[in-house]
Structure 1
């Protein structure tokens, strides 16, 4: 065990040491001043009860605002799984795939705690540690809870989070609540076992393997039971759903209704990853994933009051860092002996910077405005950013763009789109531009910290405006200002 970890670890049987005396408030069923509150990932302190905002304000997965400032970490302590999904193929000792179920090294609970301490010492943005596989957190319940126990003892300010398919969830709700785990993600892809049978070939439940409709029916019932039990205790639940064209794309409306009715805090509809190279059943049988337009259509179809997460990156089971980046290779087991001791002052300084940045960003957004009485046509604007809520990345270095829908009323984050780096080793890569242009389909403008003449011309030829005039400025304010200038110029040209 690391010298930085406490030696007086309390055994799992004593988990009641956590403070559970305060009543918990369920997410979407919460009310403020007698009115139902908005609790989507874009919600802020003005939208949520104080106790709910306290839970999500620094959680990059539960708050779109927080993902600009805070990092997450997944520890790979849960290798076993109790179901088989047609979209999953777990891989170990794998560093070149960025998707769920993939890890470079499996950890014991003690190794995971040491690794968390090392990351916390180097990454002051770290606010959340979760167990998301590479199997199922609750199919490996003793290791998962032991890991959380060690982390809580060492770093009590870190939020604890787990992801599960829900099959074993009802058996562990009391332990989850007692340990103070405020955030649980359940992957729910269906509420109709007929559809479930097309996604899950088998489950392992009560010492028996179940297949077909029986398997899907049991899984569905257990997922609903677990979701209801968690929200009854005030635990925030995010539901992940994998969008599989032709199988559950239309059905996700029913999934959304079911999970909202049971108090889910957020619903995250994710695109199927089905590259044949990943070796999944769907990938090998030709099942395609959705296009960005298809994904957005399904998200928008869930209704204006649906509480959606749109900034998910479908992270690896050993991801480290801000969403959209992975620093896991910096913190392998062999490098932990070089780790620096954790210094809480470093984090305190970072939190004070974030507080100022959040206030300044909000003020800049409120001050930005578009001209009145202009044609109200929403436009999509792509942002190259490394985080912090600013336009601070070179176009050629971007591996993803954040997409905002902009009108005179404001700028709203709607998605991110992955791409390949345009600049590779100091050269312009034509193939990468082809990938980038595909990712930017439907986008009117790209705002970045810097862009060369050649890619700027390529974008112009595709009808996309590229600008580095807003380098290092806040995203929303810059997008609104660009929109105002663009629409104002168009209106002036039309009246000339």
Structure 2
């Protein structure tokens, strides 16, 4: 089927085999492997088009954040809310602070041009629950004009219990709470202060109040049927060994997802942790902690730690296309375009799921997990030149099948047709534990550099990712069989 409205190459689409699960979602992922047959219809309706709550959906659907909530009631040692910073991609950063009216106009403009848009989120740059007046006004305006766009908000949780009734009444059925610790001894190392009930509090008192309010808000929301994603920032040396306890605690209280994110600590960002030398985790350290939570709350592994004014598919940011001065005076909605796109996605999901299932069934599962780095522009295919990739999607083949396990960023190797040696060094570091790279094309130079580092580059242009991985496994099996015969 041809893709309506937008070129296929521009879509971030991935389809994966839907494994049989119990309890609704795969323990190792985010419910992304679970389909309509694996969860109740109400929950499936909430997650199927939400790019953050479904790994599969994030390849199809776009989100946008509007920066209408600048006020915050806590200080985090990893946070520095900055403005007029269009080139920096991390939470808390925005280029424009908007009024609710400006935000609604911007959402209308994006919805008219981006048929993939399915979610409006408010994630700051402060706290959406604390700056509730602006948050509520924005959601009221957008819900009246775009009833097919889901509403989503993020909060540190301190003010969240005060607004649960309104959240439910407004049909905000996705809420993210950042919970970095449930042990106040650890929490006080992350939060210098909170502002609660009219005064600033510090130390164990602050960490205890924050923890209690976060867990209270989580319990209240899940009891009312709201899907809750818990974000945790992995801070080596502080909470890395503690996040399994966080995972266990939020599972007991009904969290739908747990997103364990790496600390971003570049000193240039001006955060306390960055300025005092606190490093972020390596990709291997992050995966180790995520894997240690297997069997707990379903994990989200596709987070891109978006800006508070991000627009577009996860992994891209089109926010600079929709700044206030670029918005048209009159915006006409295009609900039929979004509806047509969603119809196409439903058909594409069915076709791609069948192809992925056939690919996995064709080759015996490897005895030990095998990682693959995939160069893709979307559509679930290997369709990007190695030198153009700024992100590698990481897949793992094991006894559970072929599944997405994360992404790793690195600056693209090719610059104006020439390779950059320093960037290649960084790519080799990022992919040090990955034996195979799948790409549409690769030059002889980078291919040799990869091979010297023990990484095999394989060109599989336009293949589905699962089909390409299955072919590599088949070749490995045949090669290993011949080696065994010679021995």
Matches within 5 A, 1:223-242: 223-242=214-233
Q: Corresponding residue for 1:418?
A: 409
Which residue of 336, 339, 359 maps to 1:368?
Answer: 359
Q: Corresponding residue for 1:191?
A: 182
- Alpha-carbon distance in 1 for matches of 2:339, 2:366: 46
TM-score by length of 2: 0.92
Q: Corresponding residue for 1:440?
A: 431
TM-score by length of 1: 0.90
Q: Deviations over 1:35-62 (max 9, x none)?
A: 7333633222232111101100000000
Matches within 5 A, 1:93-492: 93-337=84-328, 341-369=332-360, 376-407=367-398, 410-469=401-460, 471-492=461-482
Unaligned runs of 5+ in 2: 1-19
Which residue of 38, 43, 55 maps to 2:25?
Answer: 38
CA contact (8 A) 1:374 1:487 kept: no
Distance change >3 Å, CA 362–CA 205, structure 1 → 2:
same
Distance change >3 Å, CA 346–CA 225, structure 1 → 2:
same
Higher RCO (CA 8 Å, separation ≥ 6 residues): 2
Q: Deviations over 1:265-322 (max 9, x none)?
A: 0011111001111110000001111111111111111133531111111000000111
Q: Deviations over 1:242-271 (max 9, x none)?
A: 001110111111111110000000011111
Q: Corresponding residue for 1:6?
A: none
Q: Deviations over 1:199-251 (max 9, x none)?
A: 00000111100011111111011001100000000000000000011101111
After superposition, the CA RMSD in angstroms is: 1.8
- CA shift, 1:401, in A, is 0.8
- Alpha-carbon distance in 1 for matches of 2:364, 2:347: 34
- Alpha-carbon distance in 1 for matches of 2:435, 2:93: 35
Distance change >3 Å, CA 466–CA 373, structure 1 → 2:
closer
Q: Deviations over 1:78-131 (max 9, x none)?
A: 111100000000100101211000001110101111111111111111100100
Distance change >3 Å, CA 390–CA 360, structure 1 → 2:
same
- CA shift, 1:388, in A, is 2.3
Aligned length: 463
CA contact (8 A) 1:410 1:480 kept: no
- Alpha-carbon distance in 1 for matches of 2:43, 2:344: 22
Q: Corresponding residue for 1:5?
A: none
- CA shift, 1:393, in A, is 1.8
Q: Deviations over 1:408-439 (max 9, x none)?
A: 65211111101101112222111111111111
Question: SS of 1:139's equivalent?
Answer: coil
Question: SS of 2:131's equivalent?
Answer: helix
- Alpha-carbon distance in 2 for matches of 1:474, 1:338: 42
CA contact (8 A) 2:248 2:296 kept: no
- CA shift, 1:171, in A, is 0.2
Q: Corresponding residue for 1:11?
A: none
- CA shift, 1:391, in A, is 1.8
Question: Residue 73 in 1 paired to residue 64 in 2?
Answer: yes
- Alpha-carbon distance in 2 for matches of 1:392, 1:75: 31
Unaligned runs of 5+ in 1: 1-31
Question: SS of 1:318's equivalent?
Answer: coil
Question: SS of 1:185's equivalent?
Answer: strand
Distance change >3 Å, CA 177–CA 409, structure 1 → 2:
closer
Question: SS of 1:98's equivalent?
Answer: coil
CA contact (8 A) 1:407 1:483 kept: no
Question: SS of 2:412's equivalent?
Answer: coil
CA contact (8 A) 2:250 2:297 kept: no
Which residue of 53, 69, 87 maps to 2:78?
Answer: 87
